């Protein structure tokens, strides 16, 4: 059974950088069968896709965040990470990591999610 677990600081000051890591167990990122995604959800609001990474390091980002977001992968530790710069209160949200299929008909279907971690910008 695949499991994803987010980790990182729960409090970040405005204008600083948010950094989170997702550790994957029960599956190897290196196999190349999946993309690895970050998604966030402000309190009481809808979900927003942030971006994704393939084990090769290839990335895609939501244009609304482009310029501030970087996603990286560490296949040796079976982890991938999110960095978001110049944060403001609007970046306060629960951040989720999630898996999506590679090479199938539906590459943006998120079938496994982490439990989520709340990051507050204040």
Partner 1 sequence: DIEMTQSPSSLSASVGDRVTITCRASQSISNHLSWYQQKRGKAPKLLIYGASTLHSGVPARFSGSGSGTDFTLTITSLQPEDFATYHCQQSYSIPLFGQGTRLEIK
- In whole angstroms, the minimum distance from the beta carbon of 16 to partner 1 comes to 26
> Is 116 one of the binding residues for partner 1 (CB under 8 A)?
yes
Q: Which of 27, 46, 21, 8 is nearest to 111 (CA)?
A: 27
Site residues (CB under 8 A) for partner 1, limited to 68-97: 96
- In whole angstroms, the minimum distance from the beta carbon of 47 to partner 1 comes to 4
Residue 88, SS3 per DSSP: coil
Q: Are 47 and 41 in contact (CB under 8 A)?
A: yes
Among residues 15, 17, 58, 108, which is the contact residue for partner 1, using CB under 8 A? 108
Distance separating alpha carbons of residues 71 and 54, to the nearest angstrom: 10
Q: Which residues sit at the interface with partner 1, rule CB under 8 A?
A: 45-49, 62-63, 96, 98, 105-111, 113-116
């Amino acid at each position: 059974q695949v499991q994803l677990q987010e980790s990182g600081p729960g409090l970040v000051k405005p204008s600083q950088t948010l950094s989170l890591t997702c550790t994957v167990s029960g599956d190897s990122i290196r196999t190349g069968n999946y993309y690895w995604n970050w998604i966030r959800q402000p309190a009481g609001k809808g979900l927003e896709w942030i971006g994704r990474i393939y084990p090769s390091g290839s990335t895609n980002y939501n244009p609304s965040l482009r310029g501030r977001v970087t996603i990286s992968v560490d296949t040796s530790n079976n982890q991938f990470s999110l960095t978001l710069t110049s944060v403001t209160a609007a970046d306060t949200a629960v951040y989720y990591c999630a898996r999506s299929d590679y090479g199938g008909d539906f590459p943006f279907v998120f079938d496994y999610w982490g439990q989520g971690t709340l990051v507050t910008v204040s």
